[in-house]
Amino acid sequence: MRSLFLSAILLLTGCQPVQPPVNLAGNTWLGYQPLYLALAERDCADCILELGDNQQLQVTMLPSTTQVLRLLSTGQLDAAMLTLDEALTFQSETDIDICIASILSYSNGVDAVLTLPDFNPGNPFQIGYEETALGGYMLRRSVELAGWSAGQFSARSLVPRRHVQALLEREVDVVITYEPYVSQLLKAGAVVLLDSRQLPGEVIDVLVVRRQIWQQRQQLFALLREDIWPKGLARLQQPDTAALALLSRNTQLSPEELQQALAGMAFPTGEQDPKQLAERLTPVIDRMNQYLLHTAHIHKAANLGLCR
């Protein structure tokens, strides 16, 4: 009896309790699709990935960033996939202690400034852009790169679905947009003045995590970064029929549009060394912080750094 009792104690103490799933979400943006593809390939029950060693990750694709940020603010999410400007704005507004666990993707031409072939910057002109923090940042950096002065142009807010029509019908002279609208405009005869390849590493998607969760579950995020994400990325870059169908359904892009959009994106590969990551991100965070403050998108600088 005593030996049975001792055996039971050893069995109980040898079993580690399953930790609650880490909840992570993003919107439908193409840059987040590697994770959703990895999820689909594993055919996980209830969308919970079993990562071994009692590590579980629950992943949700939400229709909008607004929903992602709301759930992150209420504590229903532990981590989120966001653009850098979204992460900075969120941290500044909420004071929630989040950190950047990894860079997911860079814009490498998917964001662009286009016009018609007869554009003459010597005459006053109007620029159409999406009135978001990122849209405004692209406007400011594009003006700096092109060397335009404030007196040369006016800016007009346009929702993305109006970008193509507004330029082709000459409601605006220049438009700052992204795929698939870039390819649609090129097909219609527009030309690229500049694109995000001239802003290397500035327009990026990041994975942010509540710092307390990061400290408790670093092993899970290491598995995500080194195993799950690379496998999903491989499916994204060489999609089979099932992956293409899922991507088209998730992003509402045709196979041709998907190919064009992917050509304008870059995905970091391999382990992201914290020191190199800090060197790459710090100046970009500082520049974006300054822009958001200058334009009153935020009223105090965000305190956003790397997860360490």
State in words which class domain 111-198 has.
alpha beta
Architecture per CATH, domain 22-106+202-306, reads as 3-Layer(aba) Sandwich (3.40)
Q: Which band of pLDDT confidence, cut at 50, 70 and 90, is reported for residue 40?
A: confident
Q: What percent of the chain has pLDDT over 90?
A: 67
Quote the Cα angle for 239-245-251, to 5°.
95
What residue spans define the domains of the chain? 22-106+202-306, 111-198
Q: If you average pLDDT over residues 241-265, what whole number do you get? A: 90
Q: Which band of pLDDT confidence, cut at 50, 70 and 90, is reported for residue 51?
A: confident
Would 22-106+202-306 and 111-198 be classified into the same CATH topology? yes
pLDDT of 55-86, one tens digit each? 889 999 999 999 999 999 999 999 999 999 99
**pLDDT of residue 204 exceeding 50:** yes
Report the predicted TM-score, pTM, of the whole model to 2 decimal places: 0.86
Neighbours of 189 (CB within 10 A): 9
**pLDDT of residue 14 exceeding 70:** no
Give the pLDDT score at 6. Answer: 38
Q: If you average pLDDT over residues 138-160, what whole number do you get? A: 93
Give the pLDDT score at 270. Answer: 60
Give the pLDDT score at 132. Answer: 86
Give the pLDDT score at 272. Answer: 64
3-state secondary structure string, the chain? Answer: CHHHHHHHHHHHHHCCCCCCCEEEEECCCHHHHHHHHHHHHHCCHHHEEECCCCCEEEEEECCCHHHHHHHHHCCCCCEEEEEHHHHHHHHHHHCCCEEEEEEEEEECCCEEEEECCCCCCCCCEEEEECCCHHHHHHHHHHHHHHCCCHHHEEEEECCHHHHHHHHHCCCCCEEEEECCHHHHHHHCCCEEEEEHHHCCCCCEEEEEEEHHHHHHCHHHHHHHHHHHHHHHHHHHHCCCHHHHHHHHHHHCCCHHHHHHHHHCEECCCCCCCHHHHHHHHHHHHHHHHHHHHHCCCCCCCCCCEECC
**49-53, 62-66, 166-170, 190-194: segment of lowest average pLDDT:** 49-53
Most confident segment among 70-74, 108-112, 148-152: 70-74
Q: What percent of the chain has pLDDT over 70?
A: 91
CB 87 within 8 A of CB 208: yes
